[in-house]
Amino acid sequence: MERRTLVKAAAASVALGAAAVLAGCEKKESPVSTEPGAPMLNLGKTQQWKMVTAWPKNFPGLGTGANYLAQLIESMTGGRIKVKVYGAGELVPAFEVFDAVAKGTAELGHGAAYYWKGKTEAAQFFTTVPFGLNAQEMSGWIHYGGGQQLWDELYAPFGLKPFGAGNTGVQMGGWFNKEIKSIADLKGLKMRMPGLGAEVLERLGATPVNLPGGEIFQSLQSGAIDATEWVGPYNDLAFGFYKVAKYYYWPGWHEPGSVMEGLVNKKVFEALSPDLQAIITAAMRTAYEDMLAEFTARNSSALKTLVGEHKVQLKRFPDEVLKQLGQVSKEVVEGLAAKDPAAKKIYESFEAFRKSALSWTQIGEEGYSLARALTFG
């Protein structure tokens, strides 16, 4: 089903439910926020919202995922909320999305929680954890394992209501101009990588650099960085990394199922009528699943193009390298939990879900993949 058809169908379904709710309600004066710095709300009229993103404008997968979320909200609310999307740098820089939504500069934000670790290190759990949960498991933890409640609790002091609003699925290990044959090959390497994975690299002697997507190609081309990771074949092909790096490594040990985050100013969200709150929540969930579906569909053809047309050399990290990365990852995550009470609470929930999910994942998803490989390779 095409996106436009999906949006229309979703809007029709929600509209029926909303009509039933509103039919029995008396017309009331819409609340208007009087809090300093908070956007003014009049729920009797069309609301004009801004969405700031951490992505280049209209960038495939991530930027277009933000656009899709905006379209969903407008369609599902019957035009009661209209959203204008700003790419990174248009209204605020990529890494200032969190602050912009918290302050009311924009009602909505679209980014990744590990970009805000300077605000609270525990936020990183809600994007991805090295050797942690895959995309399906992250969805399970957030929606059915207590993750959403912990996320809400963590962001409440900042005046934000967070949601999962996309997932890239498992990512690639990164682009390099030299082969990685041992852990020693990481020492001294300047590599673009955010989040907990960056701390793992640092402990192993590399120098992690956190750059927004729009600055990566030039930095790799100029030699400001030696290597980079971004997402996977679909996005990496769009950025043209094959022009400035020779080797493309897998698997993405550092990002096994990265959640993209939808942020709503908490006062704005709480001022909405119950039906609009439900619509925003449903739109976020739909955007989450749609992005994962798109990356799943497009990564295969993009990888074929990278290898077949651009002669990219696909490499797997050696087992010994992965084992050492895994051990250091465990130390980094446990270290974070030990020093921060909020991180400890979230880590305990995350780890309990990981252990529980692993027993089924090994039999279900991994078991099936191995069985399929016997026949189809």
65: tokens are: 């995922």
pLDDT at 44: 58
Annotation: binding site for Na(+): 230
Q: Which residues of 305-338 are buried (b: 16+ CB within 10 A; e: fewer)?
A: ebeeeeebeebebeeebeebbeebbeebbeebbe
CA distances from 92 to 51, 88, 115, 262, 266 (A): 10, 6, 14, 16, 19
Query: Which residues does 158 contact at the CB level (< 8 Å), separation at least 6?
Result: 98, 102, 119, 120
Q: Which residues contact 112 (CB under 8 A, 6 or more apart)?
A: 54, 127, 194, 258, 259, 260, 261
Q: Which of 322, 222, 219 is nearest to 230 (CA)?
A: 219
Annotated binding site: 171, 192, 229-230, 255
How would you write the pLDDT of the chain (377 residues) with one tens digit per residue?
A: 444 444 444 444 444 344 333 333 333 333 334 344 544 444 458 999 999 999 999 999 999 999 999 999 999 999 999 999 999 999 999 999 999 999 999 999 999 999 999 999 999 999 999 999 999 999 999 999 999 999 999 999 999 999 999 999 999 999 999 999 999 999 999 999 999 999 999 999 999 999 999 999 999 999 999 999 999 999 999 999 999 999 999 999 999 999 999 999 999 999 999 999 999 999 999 999 999 999 999 999 999 999 999 999 999 999 999 999 999 999 999 999 999 999 999 999 999 999 999 999 999 999 999 999 999 87
User: Alpha-carbon distance 18 to 22, whole Å?
Assistant: 6
The CATH number of the structural domain formed by 174-256+299-337 is 3.40.190.10
pTM score of the predicted model: 0.87
Residue numbers in the known binding site for substrate are 171, 192, 229, 255
Domain boundaries, the chain: 174-256+299-337
